[in-house]
């Protein structure tokens, strides 16, 4: 039996803790959630997108604790 965990991915805006979008995913581990979060973050930062710009992405575990965070400043050039 495959055990899946629920993680919450939040795309954050330029204002302190401004949540632009939130998605819940059920994956086998944090690594799977990170892959999904980084894809969502990249999509949220495309120039054609309307609305506020995405400055960071974070993952919360099922208990609401931050398990991963990456900002636009952390990305390699």
Nearest 5°: phi and psi at 76?
-70, 150
Rounded CA separation 46/50 (Å): 9
Rounded CA separation 39/33 (Å): 10
**Per-residue pLDDT tens over the stretch 35-70:** 999 999 999 988 877 777 899 999 999 999 999 999
On average, the pLDDT of the chain sits at 90
**Per-residue pLDDT tens over the stretch 40-49:** 999 998 887 7
């Amino acid at each position: 039996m495959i055990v899946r965990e629920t993680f919450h991915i939040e795309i954050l805006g330029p204002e302190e803790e401004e949540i632009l979008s939130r998605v819940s995913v059920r994956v086998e581990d944090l690594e799977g959630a990170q892959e999904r979060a980084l894809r969502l973050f990249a999509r949220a930062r495309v120039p054609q997108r309307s609305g506020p710009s995405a400055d960071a992405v974070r993952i919360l575990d099922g208990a609401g604790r931050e398990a991963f965070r990456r900002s636009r400043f952390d990305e390699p050039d």
